[in-house]
Structure 1
Amino acid sequence: MDTAALIDQLKAAVGADGVLTDPDVTAGYSRDMMPLAPVGSPLAVVLPSDTEQVRQVVLACAAAGTPIVPRGAGSGLSGGANAIDGCVVLVTTRMNKIIEIDADNRLAVVEPGVVNLDLRQAVDKHGLFYPPDPSSYDWCTIGGNLATNAGGLCCVKYGVTTDSVLGLEVVLAGGDVLRTGRRTVKGVAGYDLTKLFVGSEGTLGVITQATLALRPQPMAPGTMVASFSSTAAAGAAVSRIVREGLVPSLMEIMDAASIKAVEQHLNTEVGAGAGSAALLICQSDSGGEAALRELAAIEQICTDSGADLAYSTTDLEEGRMLLTARRAVLNALEVYGSWLTDDVCVPRTRIGELISGCEEISKRCGLTIAVVGHAGDGNMHPTIVYDASSPEQFAKAQQAFDEILEVGLRLGGTITGEHGVGKIKREWLAREIGPVGIEAHRAIKRALDPGSLFNPGSMFS
C-alpha cells in the first residue's frame, strides 16, 4: 500500500479532520518532555474518537506495514511516545469520556484521553478518590498513566497506577479487541493480563478503555515539615519512619538546590531556613486524633534524627502551600536554564546516599542537579539544569543523566520508578534485567505483536 492510499484509509477511519499530515503540525506531536530521547518524523498523526476507529487505524497500518506510536498528552519523560520516521502517531486525547462512575462498587470506567485531574474531580463529587497523582496530573491523561504505570506523591500509601486498575480494553495488532480483568474486588481467573499491559509503554497494544478502582475520599490531611542540615540525617529519618510502621499518605523530600529554586520562584519560604540540606514533607489523611498521633510520631522521629526544625499543622492552606512548593520544582528550575529529569528508585535506606551521589556528579560535571522525590518509596527525581544552546553542556547533561542511573543501580535500585524506559533507557533496562529478562520481554512482544507494529524501538530492541 502506498502512502497516499494509507492516508486515505486513515481519513476514512477517523474522518479527514482526525488525520494531520502537515509537518509543522505533526512535529508538535512527535516527542514528549525528554530532550535526550531520539525522535523521528511521523508520516501522519491520527486522532480517533472511539475503539472502533482505533481498530480501523490499526488494521490499515498493519496492512501497510506502517508502525504505530500510541500517544497521550505528551507529558512523558522517557521518550516513550516519541515518533520514529514514517510512523503513524495515534493520539488518544479525543477519547476523553468518563463512561461510568459506579459509586456503590467504587469504580470508574474511562477512556484513555481523560485527564487525571478531571477524573479526580469527577469522582470527588461522589465522595470518592482516585489516588494516582503524577506531578503533571492537571494535564496528563489516564492512557499515558496506564502506559507508564505512573505514580505520584501519594504512592507511599496508595500505590502506583497498576494498584488502581481492575481491567482494560485493548486493541491488539491483529485488530482484535481484548478485554482483561474484571469489575469485582477479587478475581484470579487466568494470567493477569491487566498488569501485563499496564506499564507496557504502548509496545503491546492500544489501550482504549480502563476500569479503575476508587477509594473513599480521605480525610483532610495534616502536614508535617522537617528541615535537616545533612541529607544523611534526612535519610535516617525516612528509614526510621518506615521501620516503625508509619504510613503517611505522602512523604516527599527536597534537597538544597530544589529548596532554593522554589523559594525564589514562589517568593516565599518553605520553612527550611538558611543552610538546610534537605526538607521532608509528610501528610497524614487518617483524620482526627489518628492523624495528629501519626504526625506527632513522625515529627518526633525527625527531631531524634537531627532535624533542625520540625513543625506540624492541620491548617489546610498551609499544607497546600507546602505541596505547591514541592510540585513547583520543575517550573522553578526553568529560571536557571533547560532541564531534564531523571527517575531512579532506590531502597529507602539509601536515599541519603543517592542525594550525596548526585551532589558529587553535579560538582564533577559543573551543572546544577536538584533532587526531589517520593521519600516514602525511594523514587527520586534528580533534575539536571543546563544551557540547551551549548553542545558542551548538553553532552555533560547526558553524562550526568547516565551517571545518576549508575549510582542508582549501585545502591541496589532500579533505573525507573514511574517514568518508564521509553527510548532513553533501553541499554539500561538490558543492564538491569539481564539477557534472560530481555529475551522474556521479546518473547511476549513476538506473541502479541509479531510484526512489531506498536512502538518499535521503545523499551528494548
Structure 2
Amino acid sequence: MSDLTDRLLRGLPGAAVVVDPEVTAAYRHDMAGFCEAGEPAVLVFPETVEQVQHVLRTATELRVPVVPQGARTGLSGGANAVDDCIVLSMVKMNRILELDPVNRIAVVQPGVVNAELSRAAAEYGLAYPPDPSSWESCTIGGNIGTGAGGLCCVKYGVTSEYVLGLDVVLADGRLLTTGRRTAKGVAGYDLTRLLVGSEGTLGVVVQAVLALRPAPAPQLALAAEFPSTDAACAAVCEVMAKGFTPSLMELMDATVVRAVNEMAQMGLPASTRALLLVAFDGKDPAAELAAVGELCRAAGASEVVPAEDRAESELLLQARRLSLPALDRLGTTMIDDVAVPRSRLAEMLRGVAGIAARQGLVIGVVCHAGDGNTHPTVVFDAADPDESARARQSFDEIMTLGLELGGTITGEHGVGLLKREWLARELGPVGLDLQRRVKEVFDPLGILNPGKTL
C-alpha cells in the first residue's frame, strides 16, 4: 500500500490522498442493502482531469482496481469498494463550466449536484429535466453512471436523452471525447449512449455536455383515490391511451398510503387502496386535469381532488415525496426497481401483493406509473435472520415476476452488485457475451469497478 500511495502522491496533492481507515470506511458503500463492500487501500479526491489520468495510469501500472464514486446515493451497490482498491471520489470536480442559453447546453464536471445544475439553468429560463428523488444530493456523474430517471420521466425522459457528449478517462489514462455539442450528430458509433449507464465499468466521466430545455410552466396536480390497484392501473392505461402526456403520474399502493398517513397525518381514508397523482404543465393544465379526472372516475375512483394552484399541487405531491421516508420508519427497507410495460402494471402490483402475503412481510409499492417503473420496497427486521432471508427471497421473486411480465430488472437504479446475477438472465448468453467483450475493449485488465454489472 505504501508503494501505491507514494506513486499516487507524485501526481496528487497530499490532502487528496487519504489512507486513514476511519475516513475510508465512510466511503466503502452506497445506500444499497444486501451488498458486500470491501476495504479500500486508499481514497483519492482529484480536482483536475490530469489528476484523474494520473490515478488511472498508476492503477494500470500496479494492477490495482479502481472504484469511481459520486455522492454514494445509489441503491444497487454500484459504488461499493472492493478489497485493496482505489476509491476514486469525484465530488471535488464540481464546477459548472459553461451554461449556454443559445445552444441550450450545459458543460459540467461530474461532481456537480443535480439540484445545483437545475437552479443554475433556471436563471436562464432553462431546465435540466432528469430529477431523481435524491436530486438535492446526487451528482451528475452518478446520474450518468446509472442512467438515472425521476418523477418527470413520463414526459421528459431519462438521463441518456440529455447527455450529448462526454470526456472520459479510460483505464490506461487516455482521455476519450465522445459525442457533440450540436443539436444533431450521427458520426460513428454512439459511444456516449454506451457509456451512460455503464456504472464506471468502462471509464471515468470527467466532463459532460448536457442538453437543456425551456423551463416548463408550473404544474397543476390532482389526487385520485381508488378502491383497488387494478382500478388505478386501469386509469393509468386510459390516460395514456387517450393521448395525454402528463408531466408526472405516480401511484402509491395501500401499504404506502397507510405509512404516509401514519407519518404525516395526511387524512387519506383508510379505505384507499391506491392513490394516483397526475400533474400537467402545459398551456391549459386545468382543462387536462379535468379530463383526466373524468377518466379516473370512469375507472372507479372514489374521490378525485384537483389542485387549484401551485401551492395546492405541492401539498398533493407531498404524499409521494414522503413515501420512502414513511416506509423507512417501519424497519429496514430494501428497494427494488423493476419496470414493466404500462399495460401489465396491474399484474405487477397484484403479484407483489401475493409475494408479501406468502412471505409474511410488509412490501409497499410506489411507482412512476406513467412509464411502468415500480419500486416495491420490502420492509423487514435486519436483526432477524429468518426475516432477512425472507426479504431477500421476496426481492428475488419480485425480479422474477418483472421479467415474466416482459419487464426489466432496473429502470433507473442500475445493476451494481445487487442485480448482477439477474442481468445475465435478462440479457441472455449472446447479449452477455457481447457486453463482456465491450468491457474488455475499454478495460482489458478488468480494473474499473470490478465485480459490478457483469
CA contact (8 A) 2:168 2:177 kept: yes
CA contact (8 A) 2:239 2:295 kept: yes
Provide the residue aligned with 1:454 in structure 2: 448
Provide the residue aligned with 1:46 in structure 2: 44
Mapped to 2, the partners of 1:432 and 1:403 lie a distance apart of 14
Matching residue within 276, 282, 286 for 2:278: 282
Shift of 1:108: 0.4
Letter in 2 for 1:284: F
Mapped to 2, the partners of 1:324 and 1:24 lie a distance apart of 37
CA contact (8 A) 1:165 1:210 kept: yes
Q: SS of the residue aligned with 2:446?
A: coil
Mapped to 1, the partners of 2:80 and 2:253 lie a distance apart of 31
Aligned sequence identity (%) = 52
**1:136 correspondence with 2:134:** yes
Mapped to 1, the partners of 2:255 and 2:16 lie a distance apart of 44
Mapped to 2, the partners of 1:332 and 1:104 lie a distance apart of 43
Mapped to 1, the partners of 2:288 and 2:341 lie a distance apart of 23
Matching residue within 264, 267, 290 for 1:266: 264
Provide the residue aligned with 1:404 in structure 2: 398
Mapped to 1, the partners of 2:354 and 2:119 lie a distance apart of 42
**Root-mean-square deviation (CA), in Å?**
1.0
- TM alignment of 1:61-460, pairs within 5 A: 61-269=59-267, 272-287=268-283, 290-460=284-454
Mapped to 1, the partners of 2:312 and 2:7 lie a distance apart of 55
Instruction: Give the TM-score, by structure 2 length.
Output: 0.98
Mapped to 2, the partners of 1:274 and 1:390 lie a distance apart of 30
CA deviation profile, 1:253-296 (whole Å, cap 9, x unmatched): 10111111112222323xx4221111110110103xx2122212
The more displaced of 144-153 and 347-356 is 347-356
Instruction: Name structure 2 gaps, 5 residues minimum.
Output: none
Mapped to 2, the partners of 1:265 and 1:321 lie a distance apart of 15
CA deviation profile, 1:211-243 (whole Å, cap 9, x unmatched): 100010101111111111011111111111111
- TM alignment of 1:20-39, pairs within 5 A: 20-39=18-37
The more displaced of 382-391 and 309-318 is 309-318
Mapped to 2, the partners of 1:126 and 1:262 lie a distance apart of 36
CA contact (8 A) 2:221 2:317 kept: no
Letter in 2 for 1:390: D
CA contact (8 A) 2:340 2:407 kept: yes
Mapped to 1, the partners of 2:8 and 2:385 lie a distance apart of 40
Q: SS of the residue aligned with 2:371?
A: coil
Provide the residue aligned with 1:4 in structure 2: 2
Mapped to 2, the partners of 1:456 and 1:99 lie a distance apart of 31
Shift of 1:12: 2.8
Shift of 1:11: 2.4
CA deviation profile, 1:403-451 (whole Å, cap 9, x unmatched): 1101111111110000011111111110011000000101100111101
CA contact (8 A) 1:221 1:314 kept: no
Q: SS of the residue aligned with 1:376?
A: helix
Mapped to 2, the partners of 1:127 and 1:435 lie a distance apart of 47
CA contact (8 A) 1:59 1:174 kept: yes
Change in 2 beyond 3 A, CA 1:391/1:108: same
Letter in 2 for 1:250: L
CA deviation profile, 1:340-399 (whole Å, cap 9, x unmatched): 100000010111111111111111111110100100000000011111111111111111
CA contact (8 A) 1:234 1:305 kept: yes
CA contact (8 A) 2:35 2:417 kept: yes
Change in 2 beyond 3 A, CA 1:11/1:265: farther
CA contact (8 A) 2:266 2:319 kept: no
Shift of 1:312: 1.4
The more displaced of 48-57 and 309-318 is 309-318
Instruction: Name structure 1 gaps, 5 residues minimum.
Output: none
The more displaced of 328-337 and 94-103 is 328-337
Letter in 2 for 1:193: L
Mapped to 2, the partners of 1:199 and 1:156 lie a distance apart of 19
Letter in 2 for 1:455: N
Mapped to 2, the partners of 1:378 and 1:309 lie a distance apart of 23
Mapped to 1, the partners of 2:264 and 2:202 lie a distance apart of 42
CA deviation profile, 1:98-147 (whole Å, cap 9, x unmatched): 11110111110011101111111111111111100001111011000000
Mapped to 2, the partners of 1:306 and 1:262 lie a distance apart of 23
The more displaced of 55-64 and 292-301 is 292-301
Matching residue within 48, 56, 59 for 2:57: 59
Letter in 2 for 1:279: L
Shift of 1:323: 2.2
